[in-house]
Amino acid sequence: MVFAFIMTLGRNIGSSNRWRLLVLALAAFGVSAHVDYGGGDYHYYWDYDFPPYPPFAPYLPVRPNYPGGPPMPPSIPPRPPSPPPLLEYQTIHTSMATDMCVSVGAPLFGRNIRLIQMPCDAKDASQSFVFYHVGGGYYRIMPSIRKQKFCWTASDTAPDDRARVFLERCSDGGNATQEFFINPIPQSTGWEIKPRTDLRLCLDVTSASEAAGAVLQLSLCLGQLYTYEQRFELPNFNPARLVQPQKVVTSTGAKCITLPTGGGNNLFEQYDCDADTQRINSFIFLSTGGGFYRIVTTSDMRKCWTVGGPDPSANRIRLTLEDCINTASNQQFMLVAQEGGWILKTKYNLDRCVDVQWASHSDGAPIWIYFCNLTPAQRFLLPGFEPVLQQFVFASNSSSRTSCVDYAPQKPVKDLDNVHRLFFNNLEAYLLQTGPCNSSAGSQTFFLIRASGKLSGPYYRILSGSDFRKCWSVPVEVGNPRQMNSTSGYTGLSPVALVECNESDIAQEFVLLQDYVAATGWVLYSRLLPGKCLANTRGLTAFENCKAGKPSQALRLPGFNP
């Protein structure tokens, strides 16, 4: 009873020093207490079989500072220098016949020029390609003979048809039809090549032909069969020379998630980032769609972060490194921005997060999976992280002219200041408008992540691709409709703006559903505004009453894979 009274008293004492004195007093009686940082309940050590919880160091949240991530303590290594932007003189071998290579079908490039397989010839410039990393494992592939002038381009064709890959002049900036995911095939030396526009498709040799001149096409991936017509060898391809190596830094101890080497140990722990160079602490994040990533080592892209055990949904499951299985949900993690860092949630259970055991500051502390609780032990810094970014495209009635969501278009809408004053008067907000699509414009690219709450459901949060501190938001308090009508003509609308991110604000959560009526892609809904759909209204991006098949509400999301 005395101990219970002391525990109750300690719960109500605000001073951390007094609480430590209480713990010392308990220790004098041969009793120790533990704070379970996940649930907030107090437990005695004889209840559980795990090491004591270390003294908790105060955590001061920091704001993000894109692109290098949040301000970092001195012990965290700075962002490494960027690797060379291009990987040149790459040959791509097909697997249908001995010594066959991918080749450009003709010396003059254009929409009718396709890729074919021909006998490999080191002197044939048409068999040499340049790789440019876009982000998340996506690449542009360009013939060396016209470097950076023409790009592999995927045709827009239904997945049950045989889609073409042809050469077209490279776009200025990003273009989803000119981006390809180069996926390592597990337990082999081969690779799959998939178009970003539809990851269900794979590059293959038509009719599994062994003949010279056989055309390459895109057809439905054959899954785990990894048949030879969809398997390619890249003898000189080393992504670590092209992709920014990624450190995963703990918020609690400013240490790196690390794989100790030797003894066959495949369990992740935390260590100083610049300690033993034999340890593995550099990784590559490969996008698998919908905000999820596979995390592989720079030394072996066929080894993945894995949550193992008979019941991976259980708490306190160690994080390990295992052979990759492309369809395994226990090898995919969702990134959620939170208080200047990132939370890594498991795909198979979004209520489980990567966690530093007991928020330890010590070298060798295990990395495991724990139920998500938004504590510093689950917040990680990713210096130099390069996510896959997304454009939001509206098509006109003719479908020949498009416009993109843009927070800084060259021609702002009229009465912009008035709209801002009525809806976001007390906030630093950048109203979302639309402008001619320009794939190189940073104001038109965004980063989609799942909502961070336990009941995240299908909700997305949409961050600025140039500043991860800013999120899409609808106004919580709607302006005066009469005043809106008389001043700007935007009555009945709820405009969208970029504001400071707030993980608990449902005004910053949205739902994406495929639009089967208009057959043009997607419709975006706001969680806060039921029955409202995102629309392009005279240059202003705003929510209005949903209407099935309305062209101004039809979105295209090039390269989006939910």
Q: Please give the chain's pLDDT, 562 residues, in tens.
A: 444 444 444 444 444 444 444 433 434 333 333 333 333 333 322 233 323 322 322 322 333 333 333 333 334 444 555 555 788 889 999 998 889 999 998 766 555 688 999 999 999 989 999 999 888 889 999 998 766 688 999 986 555 556 888 888 888 666 888 999 999 888 888 999 999 988 889 999 998 999 999 999 999 988 766 678 899 999 999 888 878 789 999 999 999 999 987 545 789 999 998 866 678 899 999 998 878 899 999 888 899 999 987 676 778 999 999 999 888 889 999 888 787 789 999 988 888 999 999 999 999 999 999 999 889 999 999 988 878 889 999 876 544 568 899 998 888 887 777 777 778 876 788 899 998 887 667 899 999 987 755 444 578 899 998 888 899 999 876 544 444 444 455 667 899 999 988 878 899 999 988 876 555 588 999 999 989 999 998 889 999 999 887 888 888 888 887 7
Domain 32-82+245-384 and domain 86-241, same fold? Reply is yes
Q: What is the pLDDT of residue 198?
A: 86
Owner of token pair 């509206």: 394
Backbone dihedral angles phi then psi of residue 526, each to the nearest 5 degrees: -100, 135
Q: What is the pLDDT of residue 492?
A: 75
Q: What is the pLDDT of residue 554?
A: 86
CB 197 within 8 A of CB 176: yes
Q: Secondary structure of the chain: what % helix, strand, coil (to 5)?
A: 15, 35, 50
Q: What is the pLDDT of residue 360?
A: 94
CB 353 within 8 A of CB 371: yes
Q: What is the pLDDT of residue 65?
A: 34
Q: 86-241: what fold?
A: Trefoil (Acidic Fibroblast Growth Factor, subunit A) (2.80.10)
Q: 32-82+245-384: what fold?
A: Trefoil (Acidic Fibroblast Growth Factor, subunit A) (2.80.10)
C-alpha Rg value of the chain to the nearest Å: 26
| Domain extent listing, the chain | 32-82+245-384, 86-241, 393-556
Domain 393-556, CATH 2.80.10.50 — does that match? yes
Residue 490 carries which DSSP code?
Answer: -
Q: What is the pLDDT of residue 63?
A: 30
**Residues of 154-164 as b/e, b for ≥16 C-beta within 10 angstroms?**
bbebeeeeebb
Q: What is the pLDDT of residue 289?
A: 81
